[in-house]
Every structure is written in structure tokens, then in C-alpha cells.
Amino acid sequence: MTSTNEQRVLDMVPKGLLIGGQWRESSDGKSLDVIDPATGTVLTSIADASESDGLDAIAAAHEAQAEWAATAPRYRAELLRSAFERVNELADDFAFLMSLEMGKPVAEARGEVSYGNEFIRWFSEEAPRVTGRYGTAPDGKNRILVLKRPVGPSLFITPWNFPLAMATRKIGPAIATGCTMILKPAAQTPLTSLLLASVLQDLGLPPGVLNVIPTSRAGAVTGPIIKDGRLRKLSFTGSTAVGQRLIRDSADRVLRTSMELGGNAPLIVFDDANIDKAVEGALLAKLRNMGEACTAANRFIVHESVAEEFSRRVASRMSKLKMARGTVPDANIGPLIDEPSRQAVHRLVEDAVAEGAKIMTGGQLPEGGGYFYPPTVLTNVSPDSDILHEEIFGPVAPVVTFTSEEEAIGLANATEYGLVAYAFTEDLNRGLRLAEKLEVGMLGLNTGLVSNPAAPFGGIKSSGLGREGGFEGIDEYLETVYVGIADPLA
Ligand code: NAP
């Protein structure tokens, strides 16, 4: 039965599409069910955007673009700042809603609200700081003027694992720079985006600046928008396979793209590590979001002299965690997003065990409803096991051992992905060597968490293109224009 608080929070969410400042039904009258992953039951239904709704959204974004770009940076900054304050006021409701549709424990969802909202604050501070430059050419004659302007209407496609933060990382800089946008949230977690859009709209975001089109027909709805000459940018967060396809689709129009894709993060524990810190870091890097994070530690590469102690302590801590619906007050581990995801995680565990891995904790599908999977530690994992080569996206920690730094770096780099790595060592020079040699966009040194709105988030290799957050994040929404000027003194 739906609790009073649950119903109240669900009632706060507009159930329509937001296009040109109006909330409306889908043009073909279809609706989309949002499922509670803890029970498999329907939470609520919302409008399911059609292809023609998508085209209406790009028309609305295009129509609003020129006037929006002409607004004062200070005005856009203040709007973002008000949104930051308002999301803070509603933080408990956002967290509860996110837990309902995505499954993570409410306390963890509260952490995402703080993290996601920080992007709004960060970009409110960046909005008035976009500048160009003026200088003299090396020969002392011509002048060089460089100016920045908004890239224009942008399409955002976001995943289900961080329903608020993945949206604010894009909406924040787009508002700051004066871009209009269309947000297509994941079909499984559209409610958080709809609530955020209603907050921005209530604060006076002009019609057409942000359009939100949840849909069960992702490719059919976004494909025509990507081909439309009015769109100027695509920013995608999701799997590498879908990202590759979208890069191909964007090629015809040479669309600006930002791609935040999959990961296969190594977490390396050296023999000189502080093991207490390594265990804490491992739990954080593995269990944040039940392991359903692009930044989740996927491979535990541990020096053979500390592997036994490290694995035993991680397994002991994991075995004590409470698995429950995210809204249960002392829940530590919520359900995975759906049954296919749970089966995919279990298949990786079963394959690894068939190839000789030993289960230290977890590894069994629990009885009962919902898509739960227990925190699991595997040792003696064969180097060829799929679990070391695929993104697990679940609370499973496979441990392999090494004997030399060179071997650890080789193992860490043996993947097509290059998003993040974690390393635990008390040797600063070794830490710096790793920063230079690991093939990743981000390195957590003696920490299991790198995400920070003030830092450039992003990957190399098949993990993506571009950066979100930091000083770099705003450039993704700016075009650079150079004006060559004849010597004004001549
Ligand atoms: P996904 O299947 O790639 O979906 C991501 C988004 O793309 C969803 O909105 C999805 O819509 C949409 N989509 C799917 N097929 C599409 C198509 N043909 N055309 C246009 N849009 C399409 O990924 P996911 O399972 O939601 O998320 C998990 C993945 O995201 C993992 O690989 C994870 O590593 C990655 N991720 C990366 C970062 C990062 O910053 N690097 C952050 C978070 C997650 P539907 O919901 O309708 O399928």
C-alpha cells in the first residue's frame, strides 16, 4: 500500500511533457509506467513522448534560443542560485522520490541531491565569469579578439542511475551560458527530472528554455531531433554502446557532442597502503549506488601480501549490510534497477565461480520480490573471467592479485575503458607515477570517491569525450569565435 508521504511526493510531480513552457499529454495519448524496483509494482504513470512531441520540443528550444542567449549572465546566475536554494528546501522530497523510482536508500539519495544541486550552485557562480580575450599578434600588427557564445539548442539524454545529478551536470552549464535544451531522461527514472523542471519553471525559467520529454521510444524520438538542423549539441550520459551509436548519428551534421560513457574502474591496493583507508575506500567505490555507477570499482587489484586481509575485511563489512527497499530507514543496499540487470550481475558471478573464483560473501539470488542482489566478494578470480572485462553494475567485488607496480599498472590499463581508477598507497611518488601512467580521466588517490562539481569529470578511451563540472564543464556549451583585426595603430 502506498504510504501518505509516498503519495504526497508522487503528487508533487507533473505527469506531462514540458514543451514550450506548457505541460501537456503525449500527441498520441500514450503513457509510460514508472516501476518501483523494490517491488516490481507501478508507482505512477506519465505522458510518453512521441516523435512529433520531440520535434515540437526542438522547435520550442529553437524559438527561445535568441532571446535566452541575450539575457544577462547575472540574471541566469541568479536564476540558478534560486534553483539551488529551492532544491535544498525540497531536498528530502527529491531524495524520497529518487529512492522510489531508482531504488537507492533515501540517505544515499539525499547525498545525490547535495551532489547534484552543487552543479547548479557551481554553474551559478561560473555564469558571470565567461570571458574572451584581446591580444596582439606575435608580429605586433594584427589584433586577436576571441569571444565565446552559447552553442545553442542542446539535447540531453541521461541514464537512470543518478536521476538528479546526471541532469544538473548538463542543465547547469546550459543555463549559465544561455543555451536552450531538451532533456530526455531515462524511461525508468523520469520523475526526478520532471520535478526539477517544475522547480525551474516556477522560478520563472522562460518557456522553451528547458523542454522535458520522457519516452519509452528513445531512439525513435531522439533520432529525428539529432537529424534536425536546429539542434547544435548532443550531451549523452549512458552506456558506451548507445554512445557509439549516437556519435555515428551525430556525424552527418558534425554535431558538437559530449559523451559520458561506461567504465571498468580498477581499485589498486599496494603493500604500503593504509589498509583501513583502503577498506573504507573500497566499500565506498563499490557500494555507492549498489555498484550501479560508471565510477564503481569494478576490479580489485591487490598486492598479494595484503590480499587476504583486505578481502576478508571487505567481505566482513559487506556481509553486515542491510538489504531493503530504499525507503526503509536503516536500509544500506537497495534493489538493482530491474530483473535483466540483476540476472546479468548473477551471470557474471556464476561464470567467475565456474572458472575457479571463491565466494567470500554474497553470490546468491535472494528470495522474495524486487530486484535485490547481495554485496558479494570473489577471490581467486581467473584473469579471463568476463567479470573483469565487463561493467558489472552491481555490488560485486572481484579480487585479483599482483606482485609489482608495473604488473598492477598493466592489469589496470588492460581495458577499453578509461574513466576512473582508485589507488591506495602511502608513497607520494608512486601516486604521482600512477597519475602519469594510468589510462584514465580521473584518479582517486587514497579515496573511493572522485565526483565533485568543482572538478572536471570524464573519461578517455571508450569512456567518453569532454568533461562535466569544473572550469572545463562550461566550455562544452560555448563556441569560440576569433576575430582578426587590422592593426588599429597603423
Ligand atoms: P543506456 O542504456 O545507454 O541509456 C542511457 C540513456 O540513453 C537512457 O535515457 C536511454 O533511454 C537512452 N537510450 C537508449 N538507447 C537509445 C537510442 N538508441 N537512442 C537514443 N537514446 C537511447 O545506459 P543506462 O543503462 O541507462 O545507464 C548505465 C550506463 O551509463 C553505464 O554504462 C554507465 O557506466 C553509464 N554512465 C556513465 C556515466 C559517466 O558520467 N561516464 C554516468 C552514469 C552512467 P531508455 O531509458 O529509454 O533506455
Instruction: Check pLDDT > 80 for residue 2.
Output: no
Whether residue 251 is found in the same domain as residue 396? no
pLDDT in tens, 272-325: 999 999 999 999 999 999 999 999 999 999 999 999 999 999 999 999 999 999
First-to-last C-alpha distance (Å) of the chain: 81
Residue 144 CB less than 6 A away from ligand 1 = no
Q: What crossing angle do the helices spanning 165-177 and 191-202 adopt, rounded to 10°?
A: 30
d(CA 194, CA 333): 26
Q: Is the CB of 161 under 6 A from ligand 1?
A: yes
3-state secondary structure 113-164: HHHHHHHHHHHHHHHHHCCCEEEECCCCCCEEEEEEEECCCEEEECCCCCCC
- The confidence score (pLDDT) of residue 1 equals 52
* 155 and 227 fall within a common domain: yes
Q: Are residues 194 and 48 in the same domain?
A: yes
Ligand 1 pocket test: pick from 168, 242, 246, 468 the residue with the most ligand atoms within 8 Å of its Cβ: 242
Q: Are 165 and 289 a contacting pair, CB within 8 Å?
A: no
State the DSSP string of 176-197: HHT--EEEE--TTS-HHHHHHH
Whether 307 and 424 map to the same domain: the answer is yes
Torsional class of 333: left (φ above 0), alpha (ψ -120 to 50), beta (otherwise): beta
473 lines ligand 1 (CB under 6 A): no
| Grid coordinates of 338 | 530491474
Mutational test site, ligand 1, from 48, 157, 460, max ligand atoms within 8 Å of CB: 157
- Asked if residue 431 and residue 324 are part of one domain, the reply reads yes
Residue 488 forms part of a structural domain: no
Structural domain contains residue 490: no
Contact 99, 35 (CB under 8 A): no
Q: Is the pLDDT of residue 97 over 90?
A: yes
218 lines ligand 1 (CB under 6 A): yes
- CATH, residue 417: 3.40.309.10
Q: Which domain holds residue 150?
A: 4-261+464-481
Q: Number of structural domains, the chain?
A: 2
Q: Which residue has the cell 589498509?
A: 275
pLDDT tens digits, residue range 414-430? Answer: 999 999 999 999 999 99
Catalytic annotation, residues: 260, 294
Q: Which residues are paired to 156 by β-bridges? A: 183, 235
Same domain? For 92 and 122 the reply is: yes
Q: Is 362 a member of any domain? A: yes
Cα gap 23→26, rounded to integer Å: 10
Whether 486 maps to a domain, the answer reads: no
pLDDT above 70: percentage of residues in the chain: 100
The SS3 assignment for 444 reads: strand
Q: Are residues 49 and 15 in the same domain?
A: yes
The CATH number assigned to the domain holding 257 equals 3.40.605.10
Q: What is the pTM of this model?
A: 0.97
Span 6-10, average pLDDT: 97
Closest CA to 21 of 185, 195, 209: 209
Closest residue CA from atom 10 of ligand 1: 186
489 belongs to a structural domain:
no
Q: Is 187 in the pocket of ligand 1 (CB under 6 A)?
A: yes
Per-chain mean pLDDT for the chain: 97
Q: Report which ligand 1 atom has the smallest distance to the Cα of 249.
A: 19
Over pLDDT 90: what percentage of the chain? Answer: 99
pLDDT in tens, 180-219: 999 999 999 999 999 999 999 999 999 999 999 999 999 9
Q: What is the pLDDT of residue 385?
A: 97
Q: Is residue 52 very low, low, confident or very high in pLDDT (cuts 50, 70, 90)? A: very high
Mean pLDDT (whole number) for 427-438:
98
For 310, phi and psi rounded to 5 degrees?
-60, -50
Residue 149 lies in a domain: yes
pLDDT in tens, 349-401: 999 999 999 999 999 999 999 999 999 999 999 999 999 999 999 999 999 99
**Predicted confidence (pLDDT) per residue in 348-362, tens digit:** 999 999 999 999 999
Q: Which amino acid is at 301?
A: I
Is 295 contained in some domain? yes
Question: Do 217 and 120 reside in the same domain of the chain?
Answer: yes
Burial of 129 (0-12, 13-18, 19+ CB in 10 A): exposed
Looking at the structure, tell me whether residues 306 and 205 fall in a common domain.
no
* Cα dist from 334 to 92, 290, 348, 375, 381, whole Å: 18, 7, 20, 11, 26
Per-residue pLDDT tens digits for 218-252? 999 999 999 999 999 999 999 999 999 999 999 99
Q: What are phi and psi of 129, to 5 degrees?
A: -105, 10
* Rounded Cα gap, residues 180 and 171, in angstroms: 9
Query: 18 and 96 share a domain?
Result: yes
Kindly state whether residue 196 falls inside one of the protein's structural domains: yes
Distance CA 394, CA 377 (A): 11
Q: Residue 71, CB half-sphere, CA atoms under 13 Å: how many?
A: 21
- Per-residue pLDDT, 3: 83
Phi, psi of 278 (to 5 degrees): -65, -40
